[in-house]
Every structure is written in C-alpha cells, then in structure tokens.
Amino acid sequence: MKRSKIGQFRAALYVQLEPKAWGYGLSPLNWIICVLILLSFITAVLETEPTVSAGYETVMRWLELGFSLVFLCEYVARLWCCVESRQYKSALLGRLRYSMTPAALLDLVAVLPLLMGLLGVQTLLLRFVRLLRIVRLAKFGKFSRAMHHVVLAISSRRYELSISMAIAVSMILLASILLYLVEGDVQPEAFGSIPRALWWSVITFTTVGYGDVYPITNLGKFFAGLTAIASIGLVAMPTGILASAFSDAMQKGRVEEKKYGLYSSKNSKID
C-alpha cells in the first residue's frame, strides 16, 4: 500500500532522528543536534562567568530561548515519528508509551529549561544535563563499541581491581591511625582524630598533596615518607591493571571486526 506524502516524510524524519533506524553512527540531523547541545552547554558555562557575560545577558537569554525552542521542536518531532517503530505503532498509546521511555524523558529534560525559565525558576543544572543527550544519540556505532570496550575491560579485571581497592583502603586507614597516634597531641586540629587524619591520608595516597596539613614531628615525618612511597605503588597498581585490560579488550574487538566484519549501513532501516 502506497503511503501518503506525510507518511513518507514522517518515515524519513524518523530515520534521521532515531539512531537505531539510521544504523551505524549518527545521521546528519543528529549531528546537528549534538552540535547544538554542545553550543547550549558552552553558553551555560560562559553565562556563569561575569567578566564574559557582562553586557551580553540579553544575547545569552535569546540564545538559550533559541536552543530550547529547537529542542522543543525536536521532542515533538520524535513524539510524532515514534509510531514508525513497530514497538509504538498505536497512534495514541504508542506515543504515550514512548514518552515514558528513559530516552524520551531525557529528551524532555532539554525542553524543561524553556518551560521553567518562563516561570522564573533556575534552570542552569537542567541545561548542563542536556549534555547527557549526546550519549543517548551516540549510543550506536563507534561510541557504542568504545563503551563496550570500557565495560568489558573493567568487568574482566573486577577481581584484581577489588583486591587493589581493598589494599588501598587498608593502607589509607593504617596511615591515618599511625598519624593520629603520633601527631594527634601535637596537632589536634589536623590529626586529633582518625577521621581528621583520614583527610591527610587520602590526599597523600592520591598524590594530590594540598599541603594544608602535614606532620611536624620526626616520627610523623618518617611515617609520612613511607606513606608517600607506598602511594606511588597503589596508584600504579589499578592503572596498570586497567591499561592491560583496555589493551586486551581493544585487541579482542579488532579480532571480532576482522572475523565478522563491522556493521555499517548507509541505507536506513526502520525497526
């Protein structure tokens, strides 16, 4: 049965908007949406700096209004096109079911700043959440394979990572106890309790070293030196484990690509 021009347009728009319908990678329209999301995020970031936004408040408000209107049109278009999927064939119930999906709710977040801004509600956080939509749009193709490699790498080394984490926590607690015993009476504000000493221990083991608190007794400096040396190994341990896991996962992915071939289709399909 031949479809009407409206039906053909809706099907073509669905292919452009729905990553699964496009196939591998992002459609041109979704690329444009991703760029607009990034521009919206950059605008929200710059708006928080008075030296940049001073004198341009009206311009930034109009930019945010424009971004929000585009995302509103996109949300309505996705809601209109979703019936092209077999999963949401029913005109009313299908659209209602689609609107309750996590992906649709995330799309709705992009529209809320417009609606809440009209009510005078602070929308900065919601504008930053828009950035998550890039993950939703790019969950297929190369991004999906990269995320699969990350998850596979972490999962394959979960026992080794758990052991290194347990060792790290034990050594951090041990260092906190030792510094509490040695420096507690001398510097009660910094080391007067184990939780207070824990702050120094965490900062030292992570090699950040703010320098706001430090031991002043000879014995405290000795234990601090041992802690600093041990922290080098503790940081290197999970780093080496993850580096090896990522290398194995990427190698396995290349082997699978050569064996089965990488799925790629320029011809759109409707699920």
Fill in the amino acid letter for 39: L
pLDDT in tens, the chain (271 residues): 567 888 889 999 999 988 778 766 678 998 898 899 889 888 888 888 888 888 888 898 888 889 889 989 999 999 999 998 888 888 888 889 988 988 888 888 778 777 676 665 566 676 777 777 776 666 555 566 666 677 778 888 888 889 988 998 999 999 999 999 999 999 999 999 999 999 999 999 888 888 889 999 999 999 999 999 988 888 888 888 888 888 887 777 677 667 655 444 444 444 5
User: Is 197 in contact with 191 (CB distance < 8 Å)?
Assistant: yes
Long-range CB pairs of 116-125, under 8 A, 24+ apart, other chains included:
117/64, 117/65, 117/68, 124/44, 124/47, 124/48
Contact yes or no for 204/198 (Cβ under 8 A): no
pLDDT of residue 56: 86
Task: Indicate the SS3 state at residue 3.
Answer: coil
Segments making up each domain of the chain, as ranges: 5-138, 153-260
What pLDDT is recorded for position 197?
93
264 contacts 24 by C-beta, under 8 angstroms = yes
Provide the pLDDT for residue 195.
92
Domain 5-138 has CATH 1.10.8: no
- Which residue has 């039906």 as its token pair? 7
**pLDDT above 70 as % of the chain:** 82
pTM confidence score: 0.62
Specify whether the CB–CB gap between 120 and 133 falls below 8 A: no
Q: Which residues make Cβ contacts (< 8 Å) with residue 111, sequence separation at least 6?
A: 68, 71, 72, 75
**24: which 2 tokens?**
């591998």
- How much is the pLDDT for 266? 43
Fold of 153-260: Helix Hairpins (1.10.287)
Q: Which two tokens stand for residue 144?
A: 């999906």
Q: What pLDDT is recorded for position 140?
A: 53
How confident is the model at residue 270, as a pLDDT?
47
Tokens standing for 196?
A: 């207070």
